[in-house]
């Protein structure tokens, strides 16, 4: 697991101060709260401390129970320190924060030791809202079909997170009251749903979110089984189609720290693209479809044991070299495996530039059922599911539409800022699954531009990285807002020009082969 070192103390926005207070006496009959605040002020070196009524109510008994020797968990908001809770200074010493990447398809959460900044536990699971719809639009429609559905979707996620809280607390023999902070990055709709805010207007002209910035949120208002007063830091959005997950990604990439213009792409259900440098940032987003995440293909799955993430076809041969996660028997394919597979099928001449199967090359691997052609990647006997794993013609068609959308968006944004796509020196690939993509395969199918492979930098789950950074460093939370305020959002106009670019990109790798010289070298035969 990756670990982020805790930054210098003054930067922290969550702190646990250990304080020994003099017990009250007739000569020092300061009120309980005042006694405590005096101790904290001395320890923190600040005047402005705010204490919620719910804590004030518990202070008299806690101070006496802990014999005036306490640990106070606090967090900073601007110039004010807010109390989260009081603990005994004896016994257990660990306090935890949680970084959450709130994906439409996958949620990843990390348990971070507040003191060391180290990640001590992690959970990855499907966003349970999927049962109400795989994509954002269907979830928005679900919330508006019934007055209670917004609450239903919110609870699906919080309940699932609470299950992990329970497991994590049990495995470390700790108490959820020691879960004192959370940092969440997600797209605009996921953020709205997480907070119980209607996403209704996000998908309706003129496409506006209810809010782009969320301050002062505490765990109790979201139904999270943490300390009720734990602050929940939510990454701000730019707009309906550009959310906090991207802000977190930009922050993680470091692209705003240099003069050189670089590109960042987050490949998920949506394709989100940012271009810029330390001076400016332009962003746009468009639907790429779930095909890139393996979400459409009949054997598509998210990464997990037995999921195919790499495919190579031996030269001249029918030998398919398949790599699965954990080296287990194959059970499905994830996005990166799918891109590899289509790329290899194309290079082996088994599909044409439209992505259509070439019967003569596929031989007995190509079958048909109900008039739909499909390709057997893994035979029944080798499969981990007991049935063959197949790729259908519609699966390929969907992937081609998705990759064409991605390339068109890249072309459009670079045209807009007048920076040639092929001049980009650093091309960051972010996203839960983006990091697994083999850039060469993505170039082969014409999803990414034909840059030197060294230009591609895979960042991994930048949304989670940003959330983790913001959990530990105050500066990061402030930086997130700074980045947001500097972004110019480019509204993608699906006009005739866009459709022309899109049509030209719906070939492998592209109608304009000159744009992909390296592919020509690898598949000289294709026209």
Q: Residues interacting with its own copies, by CB under 8 A? A: 24-26, 28-34, 50-54, 56-57, 59-61, 195-198, 200-201, 205-217, 221, 237, 239-240, 491
Write the DSSP assignment of 27-86 as a string of letters.
TB---HHHHHHHHHHHHHT-S-EE--HHHHHHHHHHHHHTTTEEEEEEEEETTEEEEEEE
372 half-sphere exposure, CB direction, 13 A CA radius: 12
Six-digit token string for 351 = 């599909």
CA distances for 449 relative to 259, 271, 289, 329, 410, angstroms? 22, 15, 19, 33, 9
User: Minimum distance between the CB of residue 221 and its own copies, rounded to whole angstroms?
Assistant: 5
- Burial of 444-459, coded b for 16+ CB within 10 Å and e otherwise, reads bbbbbbbbeeebbbeb
CB of 1 to its own copies, least distance (A): 32
Of 457, 466, 401, 402, the C-alpha closest to 424 is 457
What's the closest the beta carbon of residue 288 comes to its own copies, in angstroms?
22
Provide the minimum distance between the beta carbon of 248 and its own copies in the complex, in angstroms, as a whole number.
18
The minimum distance between CB 152 and its own copies, in angstroms, equals 15
Neighbours of 189 (CB within 10 A): 28
> Which of 241/433 has CB closer to its own copies?
241
Which CB, 102 or 465, lies closer to its own copies?
102
- Give min distance, CB of 154 to its own copies, in A: 10
Tokens of 243: 């959310």
Nearer to its own copies, 125 or 489 (CB): 489
Block residue for tokens 């967090």: 75
Buried b (16+ CB within 10 A) or exposed e, 489-499: ebebeeeeebe
- Shortest gap between Cβ of 283 and its own copies (angstroms)? 14
| CB nearer to its own copies: pick between 56 and 501 | 56
Report in angstroms how near the CB of residue 279 gets to its own copies at its nearest. Answer: 24
Which lies closer to its own copies via its Cβ, residue 154 or residue 392? 154
List the beta bridge partners of residue 107.
Answer: 102, 125
Provide the terminal-to-terminal Cα distance of the chain, rounded to the nearest Å: 46
Residue 204: how many other CB atoms lie within 10 Å? 12
Cα–chain center distance at 253: 13
Confirm if 5 and 115 have CB atoms less than 8 A apart. no
Specify whether the CB–CB gap between 115 and 131 falls below 8 A.
no
Q: Name the residue nearer to its own copies (CB basis): 182 or 263.
A: 182
> Which residue lies nearer to its own copies by CB, 71 or 484?
484
Minimum distance between the CB of residue 502 and its own copies, rounded to whole angstroms? 21
Q: What is the smallest separation between the CB atom of 38 and its own copies, expressed in angstroms? A: 12
As measured in angstroms, the least distance from the Cβ of 84 to its own copies is 14
Nearer to its own copies, 210 or 457 (CB): 210
Q: Give the other-Cβ count within 10 Å of 152's Cβ.
A: 15
- For its own copies, give the closer residue by CB, 193 or 406: 193
Q: By C-beta, is 57 or 359 nearer to its own copies?
A: 57
Q: How far is the CB of 140 from its own copies (least distance, A)?
A: 13
- Give the C-alpha separation, 249 to 464, whole Å: 8
Residue 158 near residue 164 (C-beta atoms within 8 A)? no
Choose between 203 and 504: whose C-beta lies nearer to its own copies: 203
> Within a 13 Å sphere around the CA of 125, how many CA atoms are in the beta-carbon half?
17
Q: Which of 72, 20, 30 is nearest to 49 (CA)?
A: 72
Q: Between 366 and 478, name the residue whose CB sits nearer to its own copies.
A: 478
Rg of the chain (C-alpha set): 26
Q: How far apart are CA 365 and CA 379, in angstroms?
A: 9
Q: Say what the alpha-carbon torsion angle 104, 138, 393, 367 is, to the nearest 10 degrees.
A: 100
Rank residues 237 and 426 by Cβ distance to its own copies and give the closer one: 237
| 325 neighbors 303 (Cβ within 8 angstroms) | yes
Min separation Cβ 497 and its own copies, Å: 18
């Amino acid at each position: 697991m990756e670990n982020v070192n805790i930054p210098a103390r003054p930067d922290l926005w969550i702190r646990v101060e250990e304080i020994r207070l003099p017990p009250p006496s007739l000569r020092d009959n300061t009120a309980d709260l005042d006694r405590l605040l005096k101790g904290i002020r001395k320890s923190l070196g600040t005047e402005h401390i705010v204490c919620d009524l719910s804590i004030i109510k518990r202070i008299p008994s806690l101070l006496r129970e802990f014999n005036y020797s306490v640990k106070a968990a606090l967090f900073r908001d601007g110039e004010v320190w807010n109390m989260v809770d009081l603990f005994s200074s004896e016994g257990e010493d660990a306090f935890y924060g949680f970084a959450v990447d709130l994906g439409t398809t996958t949620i990843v959460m990390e348990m971070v030791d507040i003191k060391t900044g180290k990640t001590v536990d992690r959970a990855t699971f499907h966003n349970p809202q999927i049962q109400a719809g795989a994509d954002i639009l269907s979830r928005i429609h679900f919330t508006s079909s019934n007055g209670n559905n917004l609450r239903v979707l919110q609870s699906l996620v919080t309940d699932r997170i609470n299950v992990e809280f329970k497991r994590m607390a049990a495995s470390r023999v700790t108490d959820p009251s020691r879960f004192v902070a959370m940092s969440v990055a997600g797209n605009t709709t996921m953020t709205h749903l997480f907070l119980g805010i209607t996403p209704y207007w996000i998908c309706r002209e003129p496409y506006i979110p209810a809010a782009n910035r969320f301050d002062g949120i505490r765990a109790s208002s979201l139904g999270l089984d943490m300390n009720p007063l734990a602050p929940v830091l939510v990454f701000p959005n730019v707009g309906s189609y550009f959310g906090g997950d991207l802000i977190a990604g930009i922050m993680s990439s470091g692209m705003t720290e240099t003069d050189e213009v670089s590109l960042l792409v987050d490949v998920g259900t949506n394709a989100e693209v940012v271009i810029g440098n330390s001076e400016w940032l332009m962003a746009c987003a468009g639907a790429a479809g779930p095909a890139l995440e393996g979400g459409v293909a009949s054997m598509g799955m998210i990464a997990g044991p037995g999921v195919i993430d790499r495919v190579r076809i031996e030269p001249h041969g029918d030998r398919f070299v398949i790599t699965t996660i954990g080296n287990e028997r194959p059970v499905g394919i994830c996005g990166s495996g799918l891109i590899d597979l289509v790329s290899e099928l194309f290079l082996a001449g088994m599909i044409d530039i439209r992505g259509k199967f070439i019967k003569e090359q596929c031989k007995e691997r190509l079958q048909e059922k109900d008039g739909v052609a499909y390709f057997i990647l893994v035979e029944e006997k080798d499969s981990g599911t007991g049935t063959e794993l197949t790729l259908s013609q519609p699966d390929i068609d969907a992937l081609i539409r998705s990759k064409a959308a991605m390339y068109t968006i890249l072309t459009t944004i670079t045209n807009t800022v007048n920076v040639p796509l092929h001049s980009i020196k650093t091309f960051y690939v972010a996203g839960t699954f983006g990091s697994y993509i083999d850039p060469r395969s993505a170039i082969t199918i014409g999803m990414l531009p034909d840059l030197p492979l060294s230009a591609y930098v895979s960042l991994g789950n930048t949304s989670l990285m940003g959330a983790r950074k913001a959990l530990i460093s105050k500066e990061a939370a402030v930086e997130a807002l700074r980045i947001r305020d500097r972004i110019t959002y480019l509204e993608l106009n699906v006009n005739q020009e866009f459709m022309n670019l899109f049509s030209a990109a719906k070939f492998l790798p592209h109608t304009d082969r000159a744009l992909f010289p390296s592919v020509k070298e690898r598949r000289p035969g294709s026209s």
